[in-house]
Amino acid sequence: MWRGQLRRRLGGLEAQARRLKSEAACERLCQLAEFEQAGTIMMYMSLASEVDTRPAIERALAAGKTVVVGKVVGQDCQIEAVRLSSLHEAMARDQYGVRYPEDATSVDVGAIDLVVVPGLGFDGTGNRLGRGGGYYDRFLNTVSLRALRCGLAFAEQVLEHIPVDEHDQPVHLLVTDEQTHRFVDR
């Protein structure tokens, strides 16, 4: 029910609106003190329905930050953090169509300062609704990961309440094209 509602909302965004909203969300993200202070940032390589992360990735690379993206690996579909040197390097796709560097080099998750995560939806307390596979929840639950967690979404993806299970991992911040939400109790 929740996922269907959010998919319909996202499907209703026209290409031009999606581009402008993506640019606004990325600009807001890049202006965060947490983004500016991070030496290593994990971003996601966006799918067509998600905020396009390319502007934020380009800014991070231009600032000399280490940029990491996720690569889904193994039978249990774990996310492996791999280094991204350029958006123009050769890319491969995992079983879900998500791009990652073809010659990917693993990065220790303990070195990541900020993780920018996608989601189908978020709520006003930092809860995140993913696509249903639990990949990011498992990754965010990695013991050695101490990074600040930041959701990145369109304003249309923010709901009043999202139901959660015990395995669901919340975010500390949520950045949209319209505002930044900070969840101090996280």
Domain presence at residue 42: yes
Mean pLDDT of 155-180: 92
Instruction: Tell me if 100 is assigned to some domain.
Output: no
Q: What digits encode the pLDDT tens for the residues 53-97?
A: 999 999 999 999 999 999 988 777 889 999 999 999 999 998 778
* Percentage of the chain modeled with pLDDT above 70: 98
Look at 99 and 9; give whichever has higher pLDDT.
99
Q: How many Cα atoms occupy the beta-carbon half-sphere of 171 within 13 Å?
A: 29
Q: What range defines the domain where residue 20 resides? A: 2-69+83-90+108-182
- How far is the first Cα of the chain from the last one, in angstroms, to the nearest whole number? 27
pLDDT at 156 over 80: yes
CATH number at residue 36: 3.40.50.10420
Asked if residue 78 belongs to a domain, the reply is no
Signed CA dihedral, 43, 44, 45, 46: sign only: negative
Specify whether the CB–CB gap between 101 and 89 falls below 8 A.
Answer: yes
In 63-159, which residue ranges form alpha helices assigned H by DSSP?
A: 135-140
Residue 155 in any domain: the answer is yes
Q: Is residue 101 part of a domain?
A: no
Please count the structural domains in the chain. Answer: 1
CA distance linking residue 33 with residue 180, whole number of Å: 12
More confident residue, 12 or 66: 66
Is it the case that residue 186 has pLDDT exceeding 70?
no
Residue 170 lies in a domain: yes
> Tell me: the pLDDT tens digits for 107-151?
999 999 999 999 999 998 999 988 767 889 999 999 899 999 999
Q: Per-residue pLDDT for 170 more than 80? A: yes
